[in-house]
């Protein structure tokens, strides 16, 4: 066989297997079949395998979620992932956490239409997130609730991690209801919100500040130091990101900042992203995982996959399959143990400073 024919045979080893639909097909079997189709279907199936390998390895798994996915119905999937310890640190937009708080307090989002008359919605005090509605008067009540919570805190700056751990505890004690914040509190999973001012949580904190100038202070620079110290304490990390925005970059910059203080850090060992943005406009949200290598955000030999899809399509399929195929991995996993509600967080019993970078000695 000539070299050209040998190379051709190497390329043509695995034929596409047309998907055959069957009644009662499980999520696990569905994604298994999708491993042999093409495009984003195969990428989604590959994402399941990459996540399984994260769970089998001793890595700290950062999980980012952008936008308003809680309003779109995904919050209890994330809460379940937290409880199962399929992830270790959450980095979120404020919107996701606020809409989660809204429903944990017993309120709802409602099925709507993107073609509704928005002036009519405004007159009715209804807010629209694409095809989803919420009661603005209930939001105003949430803001007051958050302000009252903040006024009950010690008068000093809190990292968003400490603030949100205390908020999750307060929410759990008041409601006893499942949600992202309450699950994180109960599982001891830190939640970071580096752009907390850009949300209704920030608005509630500002209303507390209006009443007392010493209230509602959030130390987001401390968040940077803490997240980098988590990496410095355990340099093997993984990244799972839904969407782009601040959460994606915050997770990645933790590795970059950690590497500045410890050259042994080499970026995330695994990376999985589900995004709708594209790279060719230059934004971080759509940037590829290959581009991330140039910054040291992702290791050159990392296992990685990008799924170009709406998270409301991809995540339910992915997690449904994972609950079956990764059940044994989750049971055996030794997840890092945090104490995120303390002023100084600990990870596996060791302090995680929010004041200075603590490289291994």
Count how many Cα atoms sit within 13 Å of the Cα of residue 222 in the half-sphere of its side chain: 18
Assigned domain for 103 exists: no
- Is residue 166 annotated as part of the catalytic site, yes or no? no
Structure tokens at 341: 């509600």
What pLDDT, on the 0 to 100 scale, is given for residue 71? 98
What pLDDT, on the 0 to 100 scale, is given for residue 361? 54
* Run of H or E including 9: helix 3-11
Strand, coil or helix: 82 = helix
Structure tokens at 318: 């992915």
What pLDDT, on the 0 to 100 scale, is given for residue 251? 98
Indicate which residue of 297, 304, 323, 350 is catalytic: 297
Residue 351 has pLDDT above 90, yes or no: yes
Assigned domain for 247 exists: yes
Task: Give me the CATH number covering residue 257.
Answer: 3.40.910.10
The neighbouring-strand residues paired with 127 are: 134
Assigned domain for 126 exists: no
Share of the chain above pLDDT 90, in %: 96
Calculate the average pLDDT of the chain. 96
Task: Read off the pLDDT of each residue in 292-302 and give the average, rounded to a whole number.
Answer: 95
Give the Cα separation of 249 and 10 in Å (integer): 38
Strand ranges inside 201-253, DSSP E: 237-242
Give the Cα separation of 318 and 32 in Å (integer): 11
Assigned domain for 297 exists: yes
What pLDDT, on the 0 to 100 scale, is given for residue 227? 98
What pLDDT, on the 0 to 100 scale, is given for residue 4? 81
CA dihedral 169, 175, 180, 186 (to 10 degrees): 40
Q: Total structural domains in the chain?
A: 1
What pLDDT, on the 0 to 100 scale, is given for residue 25? 95
User: pLDDT tier at 360 (50, 70, 90 boundaries)?
Assistant: low
- 128-177 confidence digits (pLDDT tens): 999 999 999 999 999 999 999 999 999 999 999 999 999 999 999 999 99
Assigned domain for 302 exists: yes
Q: Which domain holds residue 266?
A: 24-95+161-198+219-352
* Run of H or E including 90: strand 89-92
Q: Is 96 in contact with 75 (CB distance < 8 Å)?
A: yes
Q: Is 254 in contact with 231 (CB distance < 8 Å)?
A: yes
Assigned domain for 238 exists: yes
Give the Cα separation of 246 and 192 in Å (integer): 11
Assigned domain for 114 exists: no
User: pLDDT tier at 3 (50, 70, 90 boundaries)?
Assistant: confident
Between strands 60-65 and 110-111, the pairing is unpaired
Going from the C-alpha of 337 to that of each of 178, 219, 270, 341, the distances in angstroms are 21, 23, 20, 12
Radius of gyration of the chain (CA): 22
Find the angle CA(185)-CA(244)-CA(59) to the nearest 5 degrees. 55
- 83-126 confidence digits (pLDDT tens): 999 999 999 999 999 999 999 999 999 999 999 999 999 999 99
- 54-82 confidence digits (pLDDT tens): 999 999 999 999 999 999 999 999 999 99
Q: Is 56 in contact with 161 (CB distance < 8 Å)?
A: no
Give the Cα separation of 28 and 31 in Å (integer): 6
Assigned domain for 123 exists: no
Q: Is 352 in contact with 229 (CB distance < 8 Å)?
A: yes
- 249-286 confidence digits (pLDDT tens): 999 999 999 999 999 899 999 999 999 999 999 998 99
Phi, psi of 49 (to 5 degrees): -65, -40
């Amino acid at each position: 066989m000539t070299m050209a024919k040998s190379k051709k045979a190497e390329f043509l080893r695995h034929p596409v297997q047309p998907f055959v639909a069957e009644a009662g097909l499980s999520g696990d079997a569905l994604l298994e079949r999708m491993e042999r189709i093409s495009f984003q279907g195969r990428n989604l199936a590959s994402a399941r395998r990459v996540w399984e390998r994260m769970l089998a390895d001793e890595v700290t798994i950062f999980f980012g979620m952008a936008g308003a996915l809680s309003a779109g119905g995904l919050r209890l999937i994330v809460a379940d992932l937290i409880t199962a310890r399929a992830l270790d640190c959450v980095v979120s937009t404020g919107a996701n956490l606020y809409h989660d708080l809204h429903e944990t307090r017993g309120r709802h989002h409602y099925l709507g239409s993107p073609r509704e008359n928005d002036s009519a919605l405004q007159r009715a005090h209804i807010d629209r997130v694409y095809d989803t509605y919420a009661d603005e008067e209930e939001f105003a009540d949430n803001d007051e609730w958050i302000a009252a919570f903040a006024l009950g805190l010690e008068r000093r700056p809190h990292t968003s991690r400490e603030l949100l751990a205390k908020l999750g505890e307060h929410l759990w004690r008041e409601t006893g209801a499942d949600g992202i914040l309450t699950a994180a509190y109960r599982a001891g999973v830190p939640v970071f919100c580096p752009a907390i001012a850009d949300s209704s949580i920030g608005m509630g904190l500002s209303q507390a500040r209006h009443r007392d100038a010493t209230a509602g202070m959030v130390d987001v620079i401390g968040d940077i130091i803490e997240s980098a110290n988590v990496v410095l304490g355990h340099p093997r990390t993984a990244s799972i990101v839904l969407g782009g925005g601040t959460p994606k970059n915050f997770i990645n910059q933790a590795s970059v900042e950690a590497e500045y203080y410890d050259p042994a850090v080499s970026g995330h060992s695994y990376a999985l992203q589900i995004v709708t943005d594209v790279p060719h406009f230059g934004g971080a949200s759509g940037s590829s995982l290959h581009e991330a290598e140039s910054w040291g955000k992702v290791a050159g030999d990392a296992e990685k996959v990008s799924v170009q899809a709406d998270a409301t399509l991809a995540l339910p399929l992915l997690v449904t399959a994972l609950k079956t195929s990764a059940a044994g991995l989750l049971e055996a996993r030794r997840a890092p143990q945090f104490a995120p509600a303390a002023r100084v967080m600990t990870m596996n019993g060791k302090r995680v400073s929010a004041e200075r970078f603590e490289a291994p000695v």
